[in-house]
Chain A
Amino acid sequence: AQSVTQPDIHITVSEGASLELRCNYSYGATPYLFWYVQSPGQGLQLLLKYFSGDTLVQGIKGFEAEFKRSQSSFNLRKPSVHWSDAAEYFCAVVPLSGAGSYQLTFGKGTKLSVIP
Chain B
Amino acid sequence: KAGVTQTPRYLIKTRGQQVTLSCSPISGHRSVSWYQQTPGQGLQFLFEYFSETQRNKGNFPGRFSGRQFSNSRSEMNVSTLELGDSALYLCASSLEGSGGGVPNIQYFGAGTRLSVL
Contact = CB atoms under 8 A, between A and B. Distances in A.
A98 interface: yes
Interface in B87-105: 90, 92, 96-98, 101-103, 105
Interface residues of A, number: 27
A106 B43 contact: yes
**What does DSSP make chain B's interface, helix, strand, loop or mixed?**
strand
A101 B48 CA distance: 8
Interface string A72-116: 000000000000000000101010111111111111110000000
A41 interface: yes
A46 B102 CA distance: 16
B42 A100 contact: no
Given A100-B98, A102-B98, A94 B103 contact: yes
A92 B108 CA distance: 14
A97 B42 CA distance: 24
User: What's the interface size class on B, roughly?
Assistant: 20 to 34
Contacts of A28: none
Contacts of B50: 100-101
Contacts of A109: 42-43
B25 interface: no
Contacts of B43: 90, 92, 104, 106, 109
Contacts of B55: 100-101
Contacts of B66: none
21 contacts: A42-B110, A43-B108, A43-B110, A45-B108, A46-B107, A90-B43, A94-B103, A96-B101, A100-B97, A100-B98, A101-B48, A103-B33, A103-B56, A104-B33, A104-B35, A104-B43, A104-B106, A105-B45, A106-B42, A106-B43, A109-B42
Going nearest first, the 3 A-B pairs with the smallest beta carbon separation are: A43-B108, A106-B43, A101-B56
